[in-house]
């Protein structure tokens, strides 16, 4: 892997100091199993008949409930659905309930599911904190990971160009605007993302044919992916997609993801036979899987 990293840096030095224009790249939401309130049976009428309201954001109401010593806020929306739905999103707990269900019934359902609700709210808060911590700062001295190594970003005034100084471990970003200019951050974000995607394509294009030959398989072509939760994928007709954010990780992990997707050219599943196929060219796949999970949890730089 040292040779891959060295080759990468050399390529950056001589061939990849170029102009870059244009822009190419969630947290998923937890949904609880729906609670199904018992619809009132005839001849008993529903205990509560709220007046019909539009099923949109404007009809949502913010409410609170005390769970032990925790004050839980939630947004309640009424709809035509037949059960009470729970959703943990970026804004917290959202509940959607049938129009005929009383507040007492809804709060009883919250109490019954409070363990699930509080667990996922904590997980969502932690996820948001990690995402915020991973937000890239576009200023001199900020750090960015490249092929598993930390590089310090340095900004210069000039024509749009990005280059790597591997002696000082610096990523030198030239832009035609000064750092104090309001356009600086957006311009930097656009240029840097496009540059990183080009580097990813370069590395993937180098390693894909080498590992495919080693495994004895072919593929139709490779595409970059901007998926939020998947590192790679392989279609039945041989199109392999690799997440460009892998460029932040160690070359060993890039090789693992490529080996994983190439193995699907033989086994389109995750059976023992599939993992044996991966092991033919990447024996330490178990360790790599754990490291990838840790990378996802820790959070990659957010652009």
- All structural domains of the chain: 30-133 (no CATH), 184-298 (3.30.2010.10)
pLDDT of 23 > 70? The answer is: no
pLDDT of residue 111: 93
CA 146 – CA 246 distance, rounded (Å): 9
Q: Return the higher-pLDDT residue of 111 and 21.
A: 111
Predicted local confidence at residue 60, as pLDDT:
76
Task: Provide the token pair at 172.
Answer: 């030198």
- At 18, is the pLDDT very low, low, confident or very high (cuts 50, 70, 90)? very low
Task: Look at residues 64, 109, 103, 68 and name the one whose alpha carbon lies nearest to residue 85.
Answer: 109
User: Which residue, 25, 253, 293, 303, is CA-closest to 142?
Assistant: 303
Question: Does residue 277 register a pLDDT over 90?
Answer: yes
Continuous segment of H or E residues that includes residue 241: strand 239-243
Report the pLDDT averaged over residues 250-273. 96
Q: Does residue 163 surpass a pLDDT of 70? A: yes
Q: Using one digit for the tens of pLDDT, what is the confidence trace for 37-91? A: 554 433 344 444 444 434 444 467 899 999 888 889 999 999 888 899 999 988 8
pLDDT in tens, 188-238: 989 999 999 999 999 999 999 999 999 999 999 999 998 878 899 999 999
* pLDDT tens profile 249-260: 999 999 999 999
- What is the average pLDDT score of the chain? 81
State percent of the chain over pLDDT 90. 53
Distance separating alpha carbons of residues 247 and 245, to the nearest angstrom = 5
pLDDT value at 160 more than 80: yes
> What's the pTM?
0.60
């Amino acid at each position: 892997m040292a040779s891959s990293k060295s080759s990468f840096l050399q390529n950056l030095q001589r061939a990849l100091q170029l102009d870059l224009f244009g822009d190419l790249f969630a947290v998923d939401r937890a949904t609880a199993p729906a609670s199904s309130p018992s619809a009132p049976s005839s001849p008993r009428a529903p205990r509560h008949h709220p007046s019909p309201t539009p099923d949109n954001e404007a009809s949502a109401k913010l409410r609170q409930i005390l769970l032990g010593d925790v004050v839980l806020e939630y947004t309640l929306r009424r709809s035509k659905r037949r059960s009470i739905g729970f959703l943990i999103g970026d804004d917290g707990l959202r509940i959607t309930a049938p129009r005929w269900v009383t507040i007492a019934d809804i709060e009883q359902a919250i109490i019954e599911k409070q363990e699930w609700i509080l667990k996922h709210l904590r997980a969502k808060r932690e996820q948001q904190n990690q995402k915020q911590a991973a937000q890239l700062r576009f200023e001199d001295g900020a750090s960015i990971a490249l092929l598993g190594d930390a590089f310090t970003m340095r900004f210069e005034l000039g024509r749009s160009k990005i280059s790597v100084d591997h002696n000082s471990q610096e990523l030198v970003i030239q832009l035609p605007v000064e750092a104090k200019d309001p356009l600086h951050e957006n311009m930097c974000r656009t240029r840097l993302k496009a540059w990183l995607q080009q580097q990813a394509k370069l590395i993937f294009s180098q390693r894909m044919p080498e590992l495919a030959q080693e495994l004895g398989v072919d593929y139709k072509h490779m595409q970059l992916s901007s998926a939020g939760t998947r590192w790679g994928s392989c279609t039945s007709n041989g199109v392999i997609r690799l997440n460009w954010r892998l460029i932040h990780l160690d070359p060993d992990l890039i090789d693992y993801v490529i080996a994983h997707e190439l193995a699907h050219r033989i086994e389109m599943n995750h059976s023992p036979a599939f993992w044996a196929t991966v092991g033919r060219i990447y024996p330490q796949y178990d360790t790599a899987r754990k490291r990838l999970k840790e990378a996802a949890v820790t959070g990659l730089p957010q652009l």
